[in-house]
Amino acid sequence: MHDKTLAELAAALGDGKVSSVELTEHFLRRIESLDNRLNSLITVTAEQALETARAADAARARGEAGPLTGVPIVHKDIFCTEGVRTSCASRMLDNFISPYDAGVVERFKAVGCPVLGKTNMDEFAMGSSNETSYYGPVNNPWDTQRVPGGSSGGSAAAVAARLAPGATGTDTGGSIRQPAALTGITGLKPTYGRVSRWGMIAFASSLDQGGPMARTAEDCGLMLNVMAGFDERDSTSLERPAEDFNARLNTTLKGLRIGLPREFFGEGMDPGVARVIDEAIDFYKKLGAEFVEVALPHSGLSVPVYYVVAPAECSSNLARFDGVRYGYRCEDPKDLMDLYMRSRGEGFGPEVQRRIMVGTYALSAGYFDAYYLKAQKIRRLIADDFRQAFEQVDVILAPTTPTTAFRLGEKTADPVTMYLSDVYTIAVNLAGLPAMSLPAGFSEGLPVGMQLIGNYFDEARLLGVAHQYQLGTEWHQMAPAGFE
């Protein structure tokens, strides 16, 4: 049962072959018996999940079920869930029982998806390995000595290990795509503004975007159909007509123009990753796609630009955690300043504090022009490169990450080395484009992800291009040993 995709489970529910309660119990048992090897969940919400499952079965009996009614999922612990701890993997919010639901959580509730639990992540989504979590690192199911990537590492590991058929994630600089690549699953970061940020704890507001993580492109489309849509409570939410993101799954790829950015195929890429991506290119050629080399000359600056823009926005967003209204408060503050300083100093972990300090510095008087303004100017050049590329091609293909999953502890001592593991994903966030990662093969037993980048609002095309690949390959069906 757990080896089935979301689409298959939805069909089994529709045919009455299984009930939502049975499915939910099955996945809860898997979590119970297997997650001690992964640490992919911070909170398991068994009772609420079963209650939703019973309601979903009843709705189905009344003929009121939608496509995903009754299919269990997990939410990244960055999405506020009413009455449930929403920790953002931080000591700061270890005691935070959210008083409201995020827009994304509301939408899955309305559909009737039981929520099995809240997934582990890098603290406040700041990290590329899930090692900054207050609740400890997540292990990669393909090799438990290695990281699953981050920041949506718990969501990725849970889906890869078949503990849940689908998960929500968020992607500020690669936090859906990079862990999807390192764990061999499919993940989609939508166009900025597609998915409501209401109740999604903010890291860098001009970059943050929620999206689906599942085993296949089709499943990601099913989830995005639930997640996407206008929300007036999010000031940057897109007002666009509803669309079926799976409408183009069966569109032929004959004549499709795929761009290969030469800057993404240079030094630093692992030869095993390069081989897998070359094979994927050959596959698409056989389906009739045409390849065109494109230039993204400013993309090499995306990591430095990101590490000014994202920390600047984070220093502002995380100012709300003051020890006064909710979250962690230090013991016996001697005055108000002491309350702020110690609540924040004790409540935030080192990487979060580091980024708040970088942002504070970059925004401080005398440095604003040299850092923040300069970064926002180069950001436009990066976005313009993509605009020009998409005049020549329909989608862009690249590796998702330069290497496969690295070892736990391998990059924690040197932040800049860690930051560079997002070198192929960050430019997309700066430009606000949609992009996905899908499994394309293995290098030395570890999954390799292929990245597909689309033009604004082109999620349906991306999902179609990914689906056609998955119809002819089996990489997305591989399960890690011990989790089959």
Partner 1 sequence: MSLSQEQVKKIAHLARLNVREEDLDTYARTLSDILDFVEQMEGVDTEGVEPMAHPLELSQRLRADAPTEPDRRAHFQRIAPAVEDGLYLVPRVIE
**For partner 1, which is the closer residue by CB, 292 or 416?**
416
- Closer to partner 1 by Cβ: residue 232 or 278: 232
Tell the smallest beta-carbon distance from residue 388 to partner 1 (Å). 15
Report residue 14 as tokens.
């529709």
Any contact of residue 99 with partner 1 (CB under 8 A)? yes
Q: Is 25 in the site for partner 1 (CB under 8 A)?
A: no
Answer yes or no: 109 catalytic.
no
Query: What's the rounded Cα separation, in Å, for the pair 64 and 202?
Result: 35
Positions in 448-467 near partner 1 (CB under 8 A)? 456
The correct pick among 32, 293, 338, 484 for binding partner 1 (CB under 8 A) is: 338
| Residue 56 binding partner 1, by CB under 8 A | no
Positions 196 through 235 that interact with partner 1 (CB under 8 A): 206, 232, 235
DSSP 140-170: BTTBTTB---SSSHHHHHHHHTTS-SEEEEE
Query: Of the ranges 14-22, 114-122, 126-134, 296-304, which one interacts with partner 1 (CB under 8 A)?
Result: 296-304
CA distances from 199 to 101, 135, 232 (A): 6, 21, 13
CA angle 67–222–97, rounded 5-degree value: 90
List CB contacts of 401: < 8 A, sequence separation 6 or more: 149, 174, 178, 181, 182, 273, 421, 422, 424, 425, 449
**How many residues form the binding site for partner 1 (CB under 8 A)?**
73
Nearest distance, CB of residue 428 and partner 1, angstroms: 10
Catalytic one among 40, 175, 196, 437?
Answer: 175
Part in contact with partner 1 (CB under 8 A); list of ranges 149-157, 217-225, 336-344, 474-482: 336-344
State how far the alpha carbon of 483 is from the alpha carbons of 137, 143, 144, in Å.
Answer: 19, 11, 12
Is the distance from CB of 453 to CB of 424 less than 8 angstroms? no
**Lookup: tokens for 282:** 């050959």
Residue 379 touches partner 1, criterion: CB under 8 A:
yes
In the complex, least distance from residue 410 CB atom to partner 1, rounded to whole angstroms? 16
Q: Under a CB-based contact definition with an 8 Å cutoff, are residues 111 and 56 in contact?
A: no
As a whole number of angstroms, the distance between CA 129 and CA 138 comes to 8
* Cα→Cα distances 366→42, 310, 363, 371, Å: 42, 19, 8, 10
Contact between 298 and partner 1 (CB under 8 A)? yes
Does 283 bind partner 1 (CB under 8 A)? Our answer is no
- Rounded CA separation 163/139 (Å): 14
Q: Measured from the CB atom, is 233 or 285 closer to partner 1?
A: 233
110 binds partner 1 (CB under 8 A): no
Residue 76 is a catalytic residue = yes
Query: What are the angstrom distances between the C-alpha of 463 and each of 75, 190, 470?
Result: 21, 11, 10
Is-cis flag, bond preceding 152, omega within 30? Answer: no
The residue from 18, 265, 333, 442 that contacts partner 1 (CB under 8 A) is 333
Residues ≥6 apart with Cβ < 8 Å to 231: 103, 196, 198, 237
Sign of the C-alpha dihedral computed for residues 237, 241, 247 and 248 taken in this order: negative
Amino acid sitting at position 276:
V
- Closer CB to partner 1, 1 or 341, in the complex: 341
| Nearer of residues 338 and 484 to partner 1, judged by Cβ | 338
Do 348 and 123 touch, CB atoms closer than 8 A? yes
Q: One of 40, 76, 411, 437 is an active-site residue; which one?
A: 76
Least Cβ distance, residue 158 to partner 1 (angstroms): 27
Nearer to partner 1, 144 or 353 (CB): 353
Binding mask 155-194 for partner 1 (x = CB under 8 A): ------------------------------------xxx-
Which residue of 15, 267, 282, 335 would you call a contact of partner 1, by CB under 8 A? 335
Question: Does 412 help bind partner 1 (rule: CB under 8 A)?
Answer: no
376 binds partner 1 (CB under 8 A): yes
Residue 9 or 42 having the CB closest to partner 1:
42
Question: At its nearest, how many Å lie between partner 1 and the CB of residue 341?
Answer: 4
Q: Is 196 a catalytic residue?
A: no
Q: Report if residue 266 touches partner 1, rule: CB under 8 A.
A: no
C-alpha span between 216 and 184 (Å, rounded): 10
- The helix or strand, by DSSP H or E, that contains position 447, with its residue range, turns out to be strand 446-454
Binding segment toward partner 1, per CB under 8 A, in 64-72, 162-170, 314-322, 465-473: 314-322
Which span (12-20, 55-63, 318-326, 467-475) binds partner 1, by CB under 8 A?
A: 318-326
Residue 272 interacts with partner 1 (CB under 8 A): yes or no: no
> For residue 118, what is the enclosing H or E element?
strand 115-119
Which of 268, 288, 345, 472 touches partner 1 (CB under 8 A)? 345
101: region left, alpha or beta (phi > 0 left; psi from -120 to 50 alpha): beta
Catalytic residue IDs: 76, 151, 175
